[in-house]
Structures are given as structure tokens and as C-alpha cells.
Amino acid sequence: MMDAVGQLGYLVASALFIFALHWMNTPATARKGVFAGVAATALAIVVTWAEPSVIHHIWIIVAIAAGFVVGVPLSRVPLTAVPQRTALSHAFGGVAAGLVGTAEYYLRVAENPEYLTPFRMVALIAEIILGYLTFTGSLMAAGKLQEVRWVPQRPVTYPLQNVTNILLLGMAVALGAALTLHPTASWAPALFPVVIVLALLFGVLLIIPIGGADMPTVIAILNAYAGLSAVAMGFVLDNKLLITAGALDGSSGLILAIIMCKAMNRSFTNVLFGAFGQVQPKKTTGEEKVYKSETPEGAAQILEQSSFVVIIPGYGMAVAQAQHKVRELYDQLRKRGTTVKFAIHPVAGRMPGHMNVLLAEADIPYTDLVEMDDINHDMPQADVALVVGANDVVNPAARSDKTSPIYGMPIIDADKARTVFAIKRSKNPGFAGIDNELYFSDTTWMLFGDAKNVIGELVKHLATESESHGAAPVKAAATVA
Ligand code: NAP
């Protein structure tokens, strides 16, 4: 009877995990998706705990308490730290799978070695290799994103690096194969930790040649590894829910990594082995390119006369935390009857959905957030494209310069707008480390400064203009409507 209830509980939890992923597809249902995921996890824990074979209840309570102690502060990190927080979650998932596999092996060897069939041993070896490499790999990824002092941000490369890494992984797999064939041999329990150490080392070496800014893609790949190790753990423990949840986790991580690679026009191998992010030598053409700059006051005057403005946010908006000022600008423009849309590039910022989350935080209606392919049709009609701390995602070199590292990456066609205002602090390049022709174009004016300050200035000038023309404040207008 208990078993039937338990299986039903697992079935409901599996369905909730699937719905959770489905609901995450759009901002309108994303919150429901989060609740469904939490409910599924809670149900899975309760059902497993209720199994008659579970006798050490105190340890489960200690584990849940430890989860809260770590999880609650992690849930409070600022939005800009979410990529490294996600990496830490994968590290915990990886080490949990690795530890369960290790405990399972030593318990079974001592108590019922016949349980360690070749099939279970293959799954167990996969579980510990993937689990432990995900652990150290994710810790390194989190360290790079958090800019921890002793973790180098730039790619660290050395001769024969890929060969060394593949040999190391090959060694772990070969020793794992020996353990699979002879799990109860007298030398096997002593060999097991060697496989663990090799997997831990491989996790570190896999990540060091990858630049800090490529970490979000790598985290999605590590997510897939953590999911696969949970699938393997499900086979070892004969737990169907772990197999389903791990497969969902693994495949969604892989799909996300593929989407990100496509949006950057990069291959998996280029992300993992391309050492992207090393300083690019500057191209010297002999002639010094000239930026035209504009004052916020002058830009506000143009914005005031525009009927269609496209705001293109990028990583700089996140750094400056300018989203609330952007909201004020949006309100000022809308008050004048200007149509304002936000152009969302799939890899703007440093994590998938980065811009959507920031703009949602500032309560900008998601109906005004337009995906790249859709907004590009409208760019020639835009009176102003206002680039807020974006660089690579509006760089026309991606369309025309075959030698550019971002050639082929789809971009937002800011250059097709009648006028472009670009906000950034300096003449420094963005993530890809290359100059942006857009900033030298005839129709572009630079608004140099921190995004929050510059947008704040624009809002101030627009508000002053509107007061001098006697326009009603937004809130009053909204109330009347
Ligand atoms: P970007 O190319 O990195 O450019 C950001 C720009 O923001 C910089 O040029 C910087 O110029 C400016 N900036 C920084 N702080 C600022 C501040 N406080 N105020 C104003 N401007 C500021 O960013 P992007 O256009 O969003 O492109 C994203 C890049 O990240 C792409 O190359 C993408 O492939 C890569 N990437 C994204 C993801 C993802 O999931 N989203 C994952 C991996 C890689 P200054 O220093 O002069 O201010």
C-alpha cells in the first residue's frame, strides 16, 4: 500500500517538474513554474522520507536544516550574482550525487556485493565522475564570475592542454572500467578514491582555459552534467523520480547551452576550448576614428520629438543598475505619446534572460519587451535607438566583417534607426574585446557616462521640458484613465 502511495507521489512530482519547466517558458507563468518546482521537490523529499527503509530520521532532519542554512542566504543574493549562485547550486548537486555514489559503493561492497552488477557499476562510475567534475568545475565557474582573487578570470592556456585534459578523463574512465569489471576485488576499494581525485582535478582543468564571461554558457553545460549524474544515481538507487528529474535537468541545461551558443554564433567546442576573452590585438588602419558626443540635454530634445523609440539594454545597464531610471525614462516618453519598445537580444548581459529580469524588476510591462527578430523588422522606422550599456549585441561587424570574432552572431539592427544614442562610460570594448563601428557612424552620438546617471539626466531634462509645457504627471494621467 505504502509503495503504491509512494509511486503515486513520485508520479505527481514528475508531472509537477514537467509543468514547472513548461511554465518557465513565458514571464506570465514563470512564477507558477517556480512554485510547481518547489512543490515537486518537497513532495519528492516527503515521499522518500516516508519509505519504511528510512530509519535514521535524525540525519534527514540535519540534512534539511543544513539545506536551509545554505539555501536561505543564497536566495538573497543580488540579481547580478545569480549566475554564480546558479553555479554554486550545480556544485552542491554534483557533490551530492558524488557522495551518494561513494557511500553506495562502500556500503554495498561491505554488505551485499552482489548488488553491484555491471549495469549498476557503469551507472555508479558515471555518477561519481560526472558528479565530482561538476562539483569542482562549478566551484571554479562561480569563483570566476565572483572575481575571486585566486581564480584567474582570463583564460589560462598552456601547450597540450586539451590533450592533457582528455588523457586525464580517459584515465578516470579506464580505472572506472576496471572497477566495473571487478567491483569487489581486494584492490577495488583503494582504487575508487583515485577515480574521484581524477574527476575532481578534471573539473578544475576543464574550466581554467575558459574566460570568465563565457561562464554562463559553461554553467548551462555543467547543469547538463549535474542532471546526467542524477540520472545515473537514479539507476544506481533504482529511483524513477531521480531518473526523470535528472533527465529534465540534463536536457534543459543542454538545450539552454545550445540556444546560447547559437545566439553567439559559437560552437560548443569554441566555448569549451576556444579560450575566448583573451585580449584582442587592436586593428590599426592608420586613421584615428572619431566619436561624436552629445549632451543629455541635446539628446532629451531629440527624444522629445520622437514618436518611436527603441531602447536596447545590455550588460552596462545591469552593472549600473539603471533599470529603475530606464523605467522613469519610459514613463516620461510614454506620457508624451511616444511608442517605446525594448529590444531584447538573447545573450545581452551575462546570463539568459538577464535583461528581461532586470526590466521586470522595474515593472516594465513585458508586452513592450520585443525579441530581436521581431524588433529588427521595425528598426528602420525607429526615430531613436537608445543603446544602454550594450556593445557586442549591436555591433554591425557581426554582419559584415568576416575576420571579426563575433562574425555571424545575430545582432539588433540599431544602426538602421534614424538616430542612435549610445550610453557607455568610456571607449573600452565589450565582452568580445573589439571595437564597434556603430559608435563611429554618422547617425550615432555618444552619451558618455554611467548609465544610471546619464538616464537620470535625460529624465530630468524631459521632466523640466514637460513642466514648462504644463504636461500632467504620469500618475495623475493613469488615475484619470
Ligand atoms: P558587452 O558587449 O559586454 O558591452 C557592455 C558595455 O557596457 C561595455 O561596452 C561597457 O562599456 C558598458 N558598461 C559597463 N558598465 C557600464 C555602466 N556602469 N554604465 C554604462 N555603460 C557601462 O554587453 P552586451 O552588448 O550586453 O553583450 C553581451 C556579451 O556577453 C555578448 O558578447 C555575449 O555573447 C556575451 N555573453 C552573454 C551571455 C548571456 O547569457 N547573456 C553569456 C555568455 C556571454 P564601458 O566600459 O565603456 O562603460
Q: Higher pLDDT residue, 286 or 44?
A: 44
For the stretch 152-209, pLDDT in tens is: 877 888 888 889 999 999 999 999 999 999 999 999 999 999 999 999 999 999 998 8
Pocket test for ligand 1, best of 315, 372, 411, 447 (most atoms within 8 A of CB): 315
State pLDDT tens for residues 343-397. Answer: 999 889 888 888 998 998 899 998 999 999 999 999 999 999 999 999 999 999 9
Q: Choosing from 392, 413, 415, 435, which is the catalytic residue?
A: 392
Q: Could you confirm whether 392 is annotated as catalytic?
A: yes
Mean pLDDT score across all residues of the chain: 89
What pTM was estimated for this model as a whole? 0.79
Q: Please, which pLDDT band fits residue 473 given cuts at 50, 70 and 90?
A: very low
CA of 430 to the centre of ligand 1 (A): 5
Ligand 1 pocket: which of 356, 424, 439, 454 to mutate (most atoms within 8 A of CB): 424
Q: How far apart, in whole angstroms, are the C-alpha atoms of residue 244 and residue 254?
A: 15
Cα-to-chain-centroid distance, residue 218:
9
The C-alpha cell that represents 150 in the structure block? 585566486
Pocket of ligand 1 (CB under 6 A): 213-214, 216-217, 260, 264, 314-316, 319-320, 347-352, 354, 389-393, 423-426, 428, 430-432, 450-451
Q: How far apart are CA 421 and CA 449, in angstroms?
A: 12
Q: Tell me what pLDDT residue 474 has.
A: 41
